[in-house]
Chains A and B, each alone.
Chain A
Amino acid sequence: MSTPIYDIGNDVIDQLAGLQAGSPLHVLRHQRDKVAAASQGSYDTLLDPALEGIGLDERLLVALYACRLAGAAEVADHYRTRAQALPVDAQQLAVADSGEPEQLAPGRLRAMLVFTRALTQRPVEGDRAAIEKLPAAGISTPAVVALSQLIAFISYQLRVVAGLKAMQAAAAR
């Protein structure tokens, strides 16, 4: 994937926030169409099945876990559904959905979920030792970049969705 084509009829943030095409908030949001297109483009590139060095299953489990830690239940549902559509390890899915990374044997996914927890919940405590555990678990630098961007993007996406849903609720009062 280089630059994905933006399709306004298939916008994940619109879907997650429940914005109907043509509704006032949908029209307002798409006054900032460059933001909408780049948000969707980020989602598409971060979850590109062809991305090398980090599996789509690993990325969807990371996204699910990040949403769960942030309390974004409905955004978590989206990533759980996508993960369940893949051949995904049942124990790994259970850990991302309701467990702790330390329940997994040492390895790639455990290292990724530990890093996800740090970035999502205590970003200020990040240090060199934390990131160096990723290459130590066999994760390449480009895969570390993709992983970090994904976790940080989820923090962005769930806040945009939360803000839009609150705007929708405010308009309905």
Chain B
Amino acid sequence: MSNVIKSNGFTNESLEWDAWLDVITLEQASQDQIKVLEESNPKAKTSDYYLFLAHQPDILRQRSAAFNAIMYAPGGLSRAERELGSLVVSRINGCVYCASVHAQRFEQLAKRSDTVQQVFDNPHGAGVDAREKAIARFSAELTEQPDAIDAAKIAALKEVGLTDLEVLDLIHSIAIFAWANRLMLNLGEPVFADGRPAE
């Protein structure tokens, strides 16, 4: 990671997350629960988030398959631009934990952090160029008013050069964080590594 960025309660520092209800323990987990944790994320066995969701392994398996296919599939929208969509959504929804994770991913992929500072400061106007601005604006619109998304908003993405597959990938990247943010914000809370609350 480059520089620490803090703005409006958001940060690109690494955070942890504590569940508010009981999580499963690895000692008592079923084989299927262990398997779905291993499929979901390399750190899932030590993450309260995954240990909580693993109460329902069949549901978690499908969620993780959707998440990983959306964020990591080859081709289409660049991974950095998918992370930008996710970051804007997380900033608007107020998910400090998700914003920190996806700020770091954006920085790793794009090799710069200027857009992260902009998203933390004001997600609606963020973007270093016309393409990034259009991606950030659409991410805000589909997050805040999904029923108002129309042909003109798609045309605005096409005008800055997005292909149809890139538009589809962006829609998925935004929508999956409508899902992820709601879980992170309502099932537990972010903490710094030393245990201090992070919001």
Q: Which residues of A contact B (CB under 8 A)?
A: 1-3, 25, 28-29, 31-32, 34-35, 37-39, 41-42, 44-46, 48, 70-73, 115, 118-120, 123-124, 126, 128, 130-132, 135, 141-142, 144-146, 148-149, 151-153, 155-160, 162-167, 169-170, 172-173
Contact between chains at A156 and B179 (CB < 8 Å): yes
Selected from A31, A44, A141, the residue in CB contact (under 8 A) with B22 is A141
State the Cβ distance, A163 to closest chain B Cβ, in Å: 3
Question: What are 14 sample pairs from A and B whose C-beta atoms fall under 8 A apart?
Answer: A1-B58, A28-B164, A32-B73, A32-B168, A32-B169, A41-B65, A46-B59, A123-B93, A124-B94, A126-B187, A148-B187, A149-B63, A160-B171, A164-B171
Within 8 A of A (CB), among B167-198: 167-169, 171-172, 174-176, 178-183, 185-187, 189
In the complex, the chain A residue whose C-beta lies closest to that of B75 is A31
How many positions in chain B have a CB within 8 Å of any CB in the partner chain? Answer: 55
**Cα distance A45–B94 when bound, in Å?**
28
Contact between chains at A119 and B165 (CB < 8 Å): no
B70: CB under 8 A from chain A?
Answer: yes
Chain A to chain B: the 10 pairs with minimum beta-carbon distance, closest first: A124-B94, A126-B186, A163-B171, A38-B66, A34-B69, A38-B65, A170-B154, A71-B147, A159-B175, A156-B179
**Count of A-B residue pairs with CB < 8 Å:** 172
Is chain B's binding surface mostly helix, strand, loop or mixed? Answer: helix
Contact between chains at A162 and B58 (CB < 8 Å): no
Contact between chains at B55 and A170 (CB < 8 Å): no
Residues in A with CB closer than 8 Å to B181 are 123
Q: A48-B58, A131-B21, A141-B55 are known contacts. Are A159 and B73 too (CB-CB below 8 A)? A: no
Residues in A with CB closer than 8 Å to B53 are 145, 149
